[in-house]
Amino acid sequence: MCGIVGYIGVKDAVPILMGGLKRLEYRGYDSAGIAVIQDGRLQVRRSVGKIANLEHVLRNHAVRATLGVGHTRWATHGKPSDENAHPHADCTSRLAVVHNGIIENYRELRKSLAAEGHRFRSQTDTEVIAHLIERYLTNGLPEAVLRATRELRGAYAVACIAAEAPDLLVAIRGGGSPLVVGCGDGEVFLASDIPALLGETKEIAVLEDGEMALLTRGDISIRTLAGVSVQRPTVTVPWDGEAAEKAGYPHFMLKEIFEQPQAVRDTLRERVDPDAGKVQLPELHLSDRDLAGLNRLCFVACGTSWHAALVGKYLVEAFARLPVEVDIASEFRYRQPVLDGRVLTVAISQSGETADTLAALREARARGSRVIAICNVVGSSVAREAEGVLYTRAGIEIGVASTKAFTAQVAAVTLLALKLGLARGLADGGLVRQVAKELWEMPALMAGVLRQSDEIRRVAARLAESRGFLYLGRGIHYPLALEGALKLKEISYIHAEGYPAGEMKHGPIALIDHHMPVVAIAPIGPTYEKMASNIEEVKAREGMVIAVGTEGDPEIGAKADVVLTIPPALHWVQPLLAAVPLQLLAYHMGVLRGCDV
């Protein structure tokens, strides 16, 4: 995700901005830039690539000022390039903005502004903010920023400086993107996360959603968007650098587990209309006619992404009635796959640099298949080589075990399945609206499941000395059994296997006794009765059952030793909920066993 820094004070802003950007590198980025007001004029320096590239630009074209903003970009609209890097200026280069988030209505705003004569230099959604502020600048910078942001839909954290206001930095937060301000001696700092401020100040205040901050030398004025003044004292941050980067969480994995509602929300933005039951995926560069002409779909992926692909198989076949194959990418090349122009190959990769997935993509393309990608990194190899890309917008994952990337991928394959079904005329419109509505509500439901973290930790404490686990699921929940087992293995170093529950009698049942915990994914749905029977089989052999079940289900509570609950939801979207307690169980098991998570 993008990183923002800002400074106003008495010192040279450039080294402070650059230091803050370096401390935000962990967020991931593809370009960087700064803007300052020097001798009454706006100066912008930007570069694609690493911060070292920006440092090179500054060595050749130095600037010095006491007011400025900086930005590291994680591309969402427009490829990584110098032109698309932030900060973005208005037509007359009098003001500059940096932005973290997604402006959902940027296309219509851009069209309107262009009709007024505004000249755009980039492909980004952010640039419309600069031109909107320019439109209202005669009202003064704070009012211009306020009026401009009232026209935005989406998520945004914005910082703006202008030559006409050399003693002011304006910041505004709307739609969930974070911003923090920090106080020093005669100076004020701004950042999208606390790590950027380390070494400069420990006195910080967090902007809430719907607030604006006016920063001057040594003073912070916070007000609501309605103009009501907000008195918010600063707090002293006691953390070291590493802890601060985790936003107070003890480990990156836990932080990223708790970021999943936002990751899913961002993946859905602009793409699904829950009221109309429509799905728009123009970034695939495939028309409805193209999609209707397919006769097969083939997912290729590795690890956790492969599990997301397995969920996609169930969904695509259900909604689009299209045959689906799911290949482990590293094996794809070795089976002489039968592909042609009516096959759509979908490569799934968080990083976009997974060597086996990239090789599988190239193999599919060489055999004549259409190729698209589901990926988290703009400009990555997989993204560049695919015909179209459905970006997951999950932000960088620092934790070893993938968590938020998985649920974002599941959200993406759900959108793809609905789009295919609609394009092929085979998806029931009423059902699509129901699924779209529940997808839209999913972030709030996931947040509710996350509140069970302490309870799941107590469950993990009972199981921490176990030597092996069995995970069982049926239908769309079988991939969740595989994913839950993988998470436990890679985080706690306990052997675990995921199985289709119907296969339990073909071998695994011999392992079950009171030493073998069994995690059964059994929410109410089409496979519920079969899973209940499997649980009975486990209990008959004195196995301990940890069930992932639906809230308020008395039957599962009577059968299982422990129930980790998820809210009632349509069968098709339950994987997004069931993943969360499985991740938390693995995390707490790893921590309790003293593992490096």
Query: Which pairs with CB-CB distance under 8 Å and at least 24 residues apart come from 328-331?
Result: 328/300, 328/301, 328/302, 328/356, 329/300, 329/301, 329/302, 329/354, 329/356, 329/357, 329/359, 329/360, 330/302, 330/356, 330/360
Residue 597 is assigned to a structural domain of this protein: no
Residues 406 and 262 in one domain: yes
How far is Cα 543 from Cα 511, in angstroms, rounded to an integer? 9
Quick: pLDDT tens for 254-271.
Answer: 999 999 999 999 999 999
The mean pLDDT value of the chain amounts to 92
Torsion of CA 536, 537, 538, 541, to 10 degrees: 120
Residue 250 is assigned to a structural domain of this protein: no
Do residues 399 and 252 touch, judged by C-beta distance below 8 A?
A: yes
Of 536, 560, 533, the residue nearest 548 (C-alpha): 560
Q: In which domain, by residue range, is 203 found?
A: 3-245
Torsion of CA 64, 65, 69, 71, to 10 degrees: 10
Q: Does pLDDT of 26 surpass 60?
A: no
Residues 27 and 171 in one domain: yes
Supply the pLDDT for residue 239: 53
Quick: pLDDT tens for 444-477.
Answer: 999 999 999 999 999 999 999 999 999 999 999 9
Q: Does pLDDT of 25 surpass 80?
A: no
For position 15, which CATH number holds? 3.60.20.10
Supply the pLDDT for residue 335: 87
Work out the number of other CB atoms within 10 angstroms of the CB of residue 44: 18
Instruction: Summarize the confidence of residues 340-357 as an average pLDDT.
Output: 90
Domain termination residue (choose one: 183, 216, 245):
245
Q: Does pLDDT of 157 surpass 80?
A: yes
Residue 584 is assigned to a structural domain of this protein: yes
Residues 369 and 356 in one domain: yes
- Give pTM, 2 decimals: 0.67
Quick: pLDDT tens for 329-344.
Answer: 999 988 899 999 999 9
Q: Of 121-130, 174-183, 237-246, 537-546, where does the model show the most confidence?
A: 121-130
Supply the pLDDT for residue 351: 78
| H helix or E strand, kind and range, residue 175 | none
Residues 203 and 272 in one domain: no
Angstrom distances, CA of residue 96 to CA of 165, 226, 423, 493, 571: 12, 24, 42, 50, 47
Q: What is the CA radius of gyration of the chain?
A: 25
For position 371, which CATH number holds? 3.40.50.10490
Residues 410 and 302 in one domain: yes
Supply the pLDDT for residue 241: 54
Supply the pLDDT for residue 243: 44
Residues 436 and 465 in one domain: no
Binning pLDDT at 50, 70 and 90, where does residue 361 land? Answer: very high
**Complete DSSP assignment for 494-559:** -EEEEEEGGGTTTTGGGG-STT-EEEEE--SSTTHHHHHHHHHHHHHTT-EEEEEEETT-HHHHHH
Domain termination residue (choose one: 384, 417, 448):
448
Residues 198 and 301 in one domain: no
Which residue type, as a one-letter code, is found at position 518? V
The residue written with tokens 């004025």 in the block is: 221
Classify residue 57 as exposed, middle or buried by CB count within 10 Å of its CB (0-12, 13-18, 19+).
middle
How far is Cα 380 from Cα 355, in angstroms, rounded to an integer? 12
Residues 241 and 265 in one domain: no
Q: How far apart are the first and last CA of the chain?
A: 22
Residue 222 is assigned to a structural domain of this protein: yes
Residue 474 is assigned to a structural domain of this protein: yes
Kindly state the percentage of the chain with pLDDT values over 70.
97
Supply the pLDDT for residue 193: 76
Residues 322 and 215 in one domain: no
Binning pLDDT at 50, 70 and 90, where does residue 238 land? Answer: low
Q: Does pLDDT of 37 surpass 90?
A: yes
Do residues 449 and 580 touch, judged by C-beta distance below 8 A?
A: yes
Binning pLDDT at 50, 70 and 90, where does residue 242 land? Answer: low
Classify residue 409 as exposed, middle or buried by CB count within 10 Å of its CB (0-12, 13-18, 19+).
buried
DSSP state of 294: -
Residues 417 and 524 in one domain: no
Instruction: Summarize the confidence of residues 30-43 as an average pLDDT.
Output: 95
Residue 251 is assigned to a structural domain of this protein: no
Instruction: Summarize the confidence of residues 301-309 as an average pLDDT.
Output: 97
Angle, nearest 10°, between helix axes 574-592 and 478-492?
20
The residue written with tokens 């007359």 in the block is: 92
Residue 138 is assigned to a structural domain of this protein: yes
Do residues 519 and 471 touch, judged by C-beta distance below 8 A?
A: yes
User: Based on the structure, what is the number of domains in the chain?
Assistant: 3
Residue 568 is assigned to a structural domain of this protein: yes
Work out the number of other CB atoms within 10 angstroms of the CB of residue 203: 16
Instruction: Summarize the confidence of residues 189-213 as an average pLDDT.
Output: 85
Domain termination residue (choose one: 448, 480, 515):
448
Residues 167 and 52 in one domain: yes
Supply the pLDDT for residue 176: 60
How far is Cα 471 from Cα 499, in angstroms, rounded to an integer? 6
Quick: pLDDT tens for 413-441.
Answer: 999 999 999 999 999 999 999 999 999 99
Supply the pLDDT for residue 245: 66
Residues 151 and 121 in one domain: yes
Supply the pLDDT for residue 543: 86
